[in-house]
Structure 1
Amino acid sequence: MPVQRGYRQACGIARGLDIVGERWSLLVVRELLLGPKRFTDLQQALPTASPNALSDRLRELAHAGVVRRRQVPPGNVRVYELTTWGRGLEPIVVALGTWALAAPPTAEQRFVSVDSAMLTIRTYFVPTPEQPEATLRIELRDHGPAGAFGVRLTSSDAEVTHEPPDQPDAVLTTTTDALLAALGAADLAGLRSAGAMIVGDPEVVRRLLANVRVPAPTDQHSPGTSRPGRAGSGHPPPET
């Protein structure tokens, strides 16, 4: 297990890295923050991870008490989910993402998993207290059935789930890249020009997009420079 090849130090940082410091471990955690997933779902979200590596990380995280496996109906499908202790990693994972925004992505760093995109919305949404609650169904068509999400806008945050509402105020159908590119926009022109479809109240969609404030990458990430910011999943809108 990780501790056998770990740092053999008593400090909390070293002990934490013994648990989640292996490659893919924190990304497995990221993919489970919005709810349980099957092994095949995790493979789709982490396409460059080999099945053996993914199996190893899940086994190690389960042994450490970060992840658990259970069966759900119908058909007793096997899924993986974070334990209560494992969910405590969320502020660490999203803060790491915000810290990394100071370094613009390389040409190879283009893939964005569907849950990562939706975590960006949940993390960086700035609520408007005086506006009423609203619900959305978001369908990211480049991810098929896995791209359907529910979003509930409240006076305090944006709640994101894998279970879309039955009667949402608006339905937005688009692609992951188009959604990310539209975050922070004051109008829907860019989203519509990218082929998005909106059914219902477009003002709810505009409110969602306009209120997601993702910190922009900067060139100010020199050694010794601190860069405060909200914890986040770490995905700026893709370059267009």
Structure 2
Amino acid sequence: MAAREYGQYCGVTRALELVGERWALLVVRDLLVGPRRYGELAAGLPRIPSNILAARLKDLQAAGIIRRVPRSRVIIYELTPYGYELEPVVLALGAWGFKAMGDPREEQVITPDSMTMALRTAFQPEVAAGLPATAYAAHLGPAELLVRVDGPSLVVTRGDGPVDLAFAAGPDIRRLISGELAPDRAIATGVVEVLRGRGDLLDRFASTFHLAA
């Protein structure tokens, strides 16, 4: 029996055998944002050893969760339809883990892909459906994201552009998302810095992106 097998006939057991190895779900998390080259995956997971990344990609391919695809003379990795079925699982894990995050440790980093998935996790489509379409430029540490909300639809991409509100924040943005810190207090205390646009739209952002801590 392979070391990674648990010897139990159970769906949860089989799922852990497929994606329970260290780093595997983080590879899936980043590929949920979009297809990535090997180097892009390595850059998004700066602490993963190259041999472990190669092993995880091989394992996930063998399980039918990801595939290698030639594109514009390079090889990219993307999720298969079976792999995309993990999206609600990853989002649910993100919401569950949010409750226990606490303050960041000095060695912990955030990445554009991790923040993209954090916003997708916190997105409240039923709230957004009753609000006007709004575009935000969110500068979250090294992650510069363009966040477009149109009814229950959310699109998050990298970069900047014409927006209704541009703001910058560090890890304490979680206090706004959790409701621990009101939007006006977040601005007054410097947790959120309004860069341009209407500062009052931070109230709309906090309503649209919310997770209970």
Give the TM-score normalised by structure 1: 0.71
Please state if 1:160 is matched with 2:155.
yes
Q: Which residue of 2 aligns with 1:201?
A: 198
Deviation, 1:26, is 0.8
Deviation, 1:68, is 1.9
In 2, Cα distance between equivalents of 1:30 and 1:116: 8
Return closer, same or farther for 1:148/1:104 CA change in 2, 3 Å cut-off.
closer
Deviation, 1:122, is 1.9
In 1, Cα distance between equivalents of 2:136 and 2:85: 27
Q: Which residue of 2 aligns with 1:63?
A: 62
Deviation, 1:97, is 2.9
Q: Which amino acid aligns with 1:31?
A: D
Aligned sequence identity (%): 31
Q: Which residue of 2 aligns with 1:120?
A: 118
Cα RMSD, aligned residues only: 3.0
Cα deviations by residue, 1:154-176 (Å, 9 ceiling, x for unpaired): 3325x13225575333333x244
SS state at 2:183 partner:
coil
Deviation, 1:123, is 2.0
Q: Which amino acid aligns with 1:150?
A: L
> Aligned pairs, how many?
207
In 1, Cα distance between equivalents of 2:90 and 2:84: 10
Return closer, same or farther for 1:113/1:198 CA change in 2, 3 Å cut-off.
same
In 1, Cα distance between equivalents of 2:99 and 2:173: 21
Q: Which residue of 1 aligns with 2:147?
A: 151
Q: Which amino acid aligns with 1:132?
A: P
Is the Cα–Cα contact under 8 Å of residues 186 and 210 in structure 1 kept in the other structure?
no
Q: Which has the higher strand share?
A: 2
Return closer, same or farther for 1:81/1:98 CA change in 2, 3 Å cut-off.
same
Return closer, same or farther for 1:104/1:49 CA change in 2, 3 Å cut-off.
same
Deviation, 1:65, is 1.4
Q: Which amino acid aligns with 2:133?
A: E
Deviation, 1:197, is 4.1
Is the Cα–Cα contact under 8 Å of residues 34 and 160 in structure 1 kept in the other structure?
no
In 2, Cα distance between equivalents of 1:38 and 1:209: 33
Q: How do residues 85-96 of structure 1 correspond to structure 2 at under 5 angstroms? A: 85-96=82-93
In 1, Cα distance between equivalents of 2:193 and 2:67: 37
Is the Cα–Cα contact under 8 Å of residues 130 and 151 in structure 2 kept in the other structure?
yes
Deviation, 1:213, is 2.0
Is the Cα–Cα contact under 8 Å of residues 114 and 176 in structure 1 kept in the other structure?
no
Q: Which amino acid aligns with 1:161?
A: V
In 2, Cα distance between equivalents of 1:187 and 1:62: 44
In 1, Cα distance between equivalents of 2:184 and 2:38: 36
Q: Which residue of 2 aligns with 1:170?
A: 165
Which has the higher mean CA deviation after the structures are superposed, 124-133 or 160-169? 160-169
Structure 1's unaligned 5+ residue stretches are: 217-240
Return closer, same or farther for 1:68/1:196 CA change in 2, 3 Å cut-off.
farther
User: Which fold has the larger relative contact order, with Cα–Cα distance below 8 Å and residues 6 or more apart in sequence?
Assistant: 1
Deviation, 1:52, is 0.8
Q: Which amino acid aligns with 2:50?
A: P
In 1, Cα distance between equivalents of 2:149 and 2:103: 33
Q: Which residue of 2 aligns with 1:213?
A: 210
Is the Cα–Cα contact under 8 Å of residues 138 and 171 in structure 1 kept in the other structure?
yes
Q: Which residue of 2 aligns with 1:138?
A: 138
Is the Cα–Cα contact under 8 Å of residues 124 and 214 in structure 1 kept in the other structure?
yes
Return closer, same or farther for 1:191/1:39 CA change in 2, 3 Å cut-off.
farther
